[in-house]
Structures are given as C-alpha cells and as structure tokens.
Structure 1
C-alpha cells in the first residue's frame, strides 16, 4: 500500500474512533443544493518588469473570470458533493513582451531556432479548470480532482492572473478541536500560464501534515512532502502572540524548511556543484511583529545553509511554496544567504478610512555563495497599497498596487537569478456571489 493511502486510511480511522470529540460538521449538513455556494471573481491584472542591464522587459495585461462552484453535502452519516474550479481569460493589448507566468504562449521557435512550447505568440483568449468530488464523515473530508492548494510544501501560485491547479486526492480531518490533519497525493500540476492540465509535468507528490492551535496565543504546524524523482521537504512553524499594555501586542514567529534532493534530480543554478548527487538545504526565519492600534512593525532575520539554495521551482510547483517572511519579488533564498527585513504596515481604518491598507518593507541579503563571489548581495524595497470597498454596490471589490525596487550583484544576477528589476503589479478584483 502506498504511503499516501496509508496516511489517508489513518486519518479516516482516527475520524471513526474520535468523531464524538466535538460537534460534527456532517451532522449539520443541509443538503446537496441547500448548502451550495458559487462565486466568480472578475480580475483585471497588469505586471510590468522593467529589467536593467540590457535584459528584455516583461509586461503582461489580461482580463479573467475565476469560478469557484461548490455543492453542499448530502445528508447522512457520509455526505457527498461536487465542486468546480476554473477560469476564462483574454489578453489586453498585444502582450508582445508577455512573461511573468501571466499569459500562455503557443508552441514556437526559441532563440536557437528549436521548436518548443512557450516560445510562440501569446494566446488571445484561453480557458482552464476542472471538477472534483468530495465525501465527508463527521469532521473529515476527502476530495479528489482539480484543486487549489494552500499547503506550505505544495501551494498553488495565486499571485498571477489565475490560480495554479493540482489534480489528486486530499484528506483533511478536524476531529479534535484545534487540530487539523492533512494527507494527500497529487499527480498533475497546471501552472498559472499553462493550458496543459499537467503542463509542469508533475510525477507524483505525496503530502502530509498537522497544525494545532494550543490556545488563542500559540499555534504550531508541521508539513512534509515527497516529490518523486525530485526531492523530500519538511516544514515547521510556531507562532506566539503576546498581549501587552495599551491594546498592543508582540507576535513571535519561527518557520523553516529542510530539503533533500533525490539522486539524479534536476540541478538548480543555485548549487555550485552541477554534478552533486547529495544536495540539501536548510532555510529558516525568525520574526517579531509589534502591533499598536493601526500600526505594525516587523523585524525578520532569514538564513539559508547547505550546498544549494532553496530552489523551490524544482518541486514542480508554481513558486509559491515558500512560507517565509522575506519573500516579495525576491525570496532571498540563495545558497548560504542571510537576509534581514524591516516592514511597516498601516491600517487606515484607525484614521476613518476602513478597507485601506499600506505595507512598506526593506530587505537586505548578503553572504550569497556563487561561482565567483562568496559574499554576493541583493536588496529590495517593497511598497503595496490595497483598498477594499466596505459597502455599496462595489462591496468587497479591491484594488491593489504593488511596487518592488530590486537590485543585486552581477555575480548573483548573471549565473543564478534575475537582473536588477523595477516591478509594478496592479490588480483590480471584483467578486460576484452567484448563489
């Protein structure tokens, strides 16, 4: 029996044994139609990367409708239901310099004259998506089909026009109050700009994990991943919130990953030894956030060790599986890199403008190990303003403007990472509830 099957079976047995631990979600099911929910998110998106040093810019603009349709569960000891996720999009303008995982390209010729996918003209319009089926007993759900994932070791990229989709099975159990167990297996990965349902050629990814809320102050979690012919990865997190005087608080957060690559797996540009069969990486971060009313200030330190950088893209996912604080345009995850951040956040509701939020941050990374320099550096100045309508006909509609000013040393840019870049992201989201 495969590992994921054993994990899923264990979750279901645990559900049967302790299903009386607290109120059952399934016992409160109203019906397949009665509990159905459907939304569509209309998104207009623009990403512009102004690259320095003679490198080609990337600029993409598109319009999308993102669907999420969910039936309720049938009544009974075991409830059944279905779901549908998908999107339909069209580009705005010619998008001749498209990139940034925004708009799919047709098969075409690369710079060497070779026929390859993703090298042709951009699609004028496209649609993607899939269905899933689900079953629930007590507080345990098993879902099979196309899904959007939010796991620290396997996360769907949601920072582009449309989400990344995974196909597989995921079991989630919440039989004990405060404890959530997860186990699953996925065999397809469709990144945000891909038409093929397995465009990223995922072989097999088995995931498992648990998170527990000890009380209102302390939370902890652990997740693992075994990606066939690629890597094995483990993630831990602990978060503690300390109440202080005058309605203020101090939040401490620790998170980290340990990764070991399979022998013969693809080699990242962030490792010095291109023939290494013994690649590994540890990356961790510690942050503290002081909150006083509408103001928050965070300080964070992050460090990477091992004979490789974090290299999240080799996991065959869409580059969002890095739940660490020093992650904006750059993720500050180079080989042996250390980085520090200061971030300020202002919630304007404290000044009579609810729904308006501003975040500004500066991150500095050093000691990056490259072929020619063991102390390469990078830095980023990040600013984001977001407004969400609180009432009226546009309630819940949001406008987000984000700007990053990124700079690094040539030793890191040329062989490992992106060049100096100024990036703008503008997203207008209008959610509509269908039922």
Structure 2
C-alpha cells in the first residue's frame, strides 16, 4: 500500500513556525527581497527491455514531474534566519502492471501505479557570516552521498547539513542525515545498503549517515577533496579526490581522480564490507570536440558500498550499470561534440563505451565480464518564449555474463520557469 507523506518532520515544522513568527515580527525586507521561486517541469518516457523470455522482460512508463522550489532570503543582523520550501508532484501519463518498475512511478502492492504522488517539505536555515546550517530536506551532491535525480522527482534526504567557507579557498561540509524519500516514493524511510548483484545482505537498514568533508582549492585549476562518512553500524568510508583543469595547447585538459576506502562498522547482519575503489577520468576538449578516457578498479573482498537508490560517486557509473562488483576492472572511452561549430547552437552529442572484466560473481568462484554503450543527443532552445527548454534522447545497451542484459531508451523534455 502506498501512503502519501505530504508534510515535513515534526521538528522541522516547529522550527519553521518559530522562524516564520520571528521574521514576521522583524518585518525584514531582505527576507522577502532576496527570495526566489521556480517551477521545473520534467517529462520522461522510459523503456527498458531486458532481452529475456521469462519473467518481466520489459519496463515501460511515461510520466510528468513538477518541482516547485521556493527559497527565502535571510533576516538582517549577525545571525540571519531563512526558510525554504519544496513541493514535488509526479503524474502518471502511461503505465501498466506488466510494464511497471521503471522508478518513474511508485509500485503499489497490487503491482499497479498511482495516478499521482506528491511531497511537501520545508527546510529551515541559519546563517552566520559564511557559515550556513540547514535542517530539513536536501538533495545532496557529495562524494559520500549523491541523491539520484534521473527520474521524475529527485531522491530527497532529511536531516541537518552545515557548510562553511570562512577561509578563502576552503569549504567544509558536515552533518547528519537520518531519513530518505526515494525518487518514486512519498514515504520517509531508513537508509538501506545497496545490494546490486547480491553484493551484500539485502534489506540492511541504517538509522543515520554522519558525514564531514573538505574541498580546498590549492591553486587555479587544482582542487583537492576529502570526505568521511559513517552509515550507522554498516560501513564507514573515506573519499580522496583531485580535480584539475589546465590549458594544453589550444585545448583544455581535465582530470578527475578518486580513491574511496570502505569498511564495515559493526552490524553483524550487514555482512563484510571491504572495498578500495580507484577511479579516474581524463578528458581533453578541443574546439567542439571532447575526448575522454576512464579507468575504474575495485580492490578488497567486496564490491563498492553505497546507499540504495542513490548514485554511486564513480566515473564508470553510467546510464544502466555501475561496474562496481568485487575485483572488477573497467575502462571507459567517451566522445562529446557540440554542433554550434556547424551552425546548430544548443545541440550536443555524447557517446561512451565501458567494458569491465574479472568481476567476482556473488555466490560462486566464477568471474565475469560486462559492457555498456551509451548514446545521447540533447538540444536546448536558445531564444524565444521557450528559451532554455531542453530535449534529451538517450539510448543504452548493456550486456553481462552474470546480470540481466538490457536495452534502454529515454526521452526527456524539461523546462525551468522562474516565478520571481
């Protein structure tokens, strides 16, 4: 049974009411003048064919997502208070019990999908100088927790996050997240350990995720990153990253190097977590062309550990697969092209090919390989009343020795309307 949860957590509601009362009494102009609101509409058709003749061999759905994002300014004074609100609505345009499960729409107990599902949440915020504390709903994009936003509605985490940029070039991020609302859900739930390809015990829950990290710009074009996270009684994780960007000849050379160490942290029912993930992406942009090479290697006794429903922070996590099984080694070749150089501004093309081998197949001593090929065209309207409306057409093929083969097509139309 699907139960709609349309209100924020009780502590958030109480804090928001207190802030609202405070700001109304202060009649603070900045709170209103610095506010903003936008409505993002995302229309997605998704068709995934598993290329098999038993069980559910196809998932195909079409839906419309609406995201109303409202942000206030801050009250004046040494300590500034603010309040943000987020309204999310997903609408079914086409679905069927035999084709459900794309994660565009929730799946009910009878296998059907609702005509619509929605969420409403608020985030209270406090700012002192260049330090901000936010408590409520978040769509984080961090190396240790990256919310998935590839469906109608984004995955939303609940809890508190603090960011501070008091020192030039240095940003600190820390906090605790204790609930998650998955992209095709309305329910606040505990966080689960992802168990793709039976890498870990299924259904293992955590009460919270603690995290802390630093981003530091050493020099122009060179940024270092370190993050630590602990998924309560399941695993802890250390992330080390280096981002560089420099002119090389008439083009630009970019690198993204990541090393993540994950270890289990006490829960007997979670099973062993022991992974060292090295991954890196090197790309060179020259005019309208961009060429990229990626490498990813899983070390340790298990595959990569991350929160279920979220996006793993790996360079070879692509449209369908993550290439993150125990001992797996994978390579990526990527090419991007911008058609502006031939008189079609707004049109871009991307294709990539990823091949993995030596993956340890869970539950056996066998090893396997897999590959994926992705193609994408995207067009963004450049001017006129529909300026910034975009259309994306994505196609992917995935083949594996141990997981289900799949062919997938997505058509995405999106537009963000500034309200004020």
TM range (shorter): 0.7 to 0.9
State how far apart, in whole Å, the 1-side matches of 2:267 and 2:128 are: 42
1:403 aligns with 2:406: no
CA deviations on 1:340-386 (whole Å, 9 max, x unpaired) are: 11000012222222221111001000001124454300001111111
Alignment of 1:242-321 (within 5 A): 242-245=246-249, 247-264=250-267, 266-267=269-270, 277-312=271-306, 315=307, 317-321=308-312
How far has the Cα of 1:199 moved from its partner?
A: 6.4
Q: 2:64 — aligned with what?
A: 63
Q: 1:3 — aligned with what?
A: none
Normalised by the length of structure 2, the TM-score is 0.86
How far has the Cα of 1:428 moved from its partner?
A: 0.6
How far has the Cα of 1:147 moved from its partner?
A: 1.5
Q: 2:103 — aligned with what?
A: 101
Of stretches 84-93 and 181-190 in structure 1, the one that deviates more from structure 2 is 84-93
State how far apart, in whole Å, the 2-side matches of 1:298 and 1:283 are: 20
Q: Indicate conservation of the 8 Å contact 1:300/1:326, yes or no.
A: no
What secondary structure, in the 3-state scheme, does the structure 2 residue paired with 1:31 have?
helix
State how far apart, in whole Å, the 1-side matches of 2:244 and 2:143 are: 18
How far has the Cα of 1:302 moved from its partner?
A: 0.7
Of stretches 255-264 and 291-300 in structure 1, the one that deviates more from structure 2 is 255-264
How far has the Cα of 1:106 moved from its partner?
A: 2.2
Partner of residue 181 from structure 1, selected from 162, 172, 177: 172
State how far apart, in whole Å, the 2-side matches of 1:422 and 1:265 are: 37
What secondary structure, in the 3-state scheme, does the structure 1 residue paired with 2:30 have?
coil
Normalised by the length of structure 1, the TM-score is 0.83
What secondary structure, in the 3-state scheme, does the structure 2 residue paired with 1:32 have?
helix
Over aligned residue pairs, what C-alpha RMSD do you find?
1.8
Task: In structure 1, list runs of 5 or more residues that go unmatched.
Answer: 1-28, 109-119, 268-276, 414-418
Aligned residues: 376
How far has the Cα of 1:160 moved from its partner?
A: 1.1
How far has the Cα of 1:85 moved from its partner?
A: 1.5
Over 3 Å counting, the alpha-carbon distance change for 1:266 and 1:351 in structure 2 is farther
Q: Indicate conservation of the 8 Å contact 2:101/2:107, yes or no.
A: no
Q: Indicate conservation of the 8 Å contact 1:281/1:310, yes or no.
A: yes
Q: Indicate conservation of the 8 Å contact 2:321/2:372, yes or no.
A: yes
1:423 aligns with 2:417: no
What secondary structure, in the 3-state scheme, does the structure 2 residue paired with 1:33 have?
helix
What secondary structure, in the 3-state scheme, does the structure 1 residue paired with 2:312 have?
coil
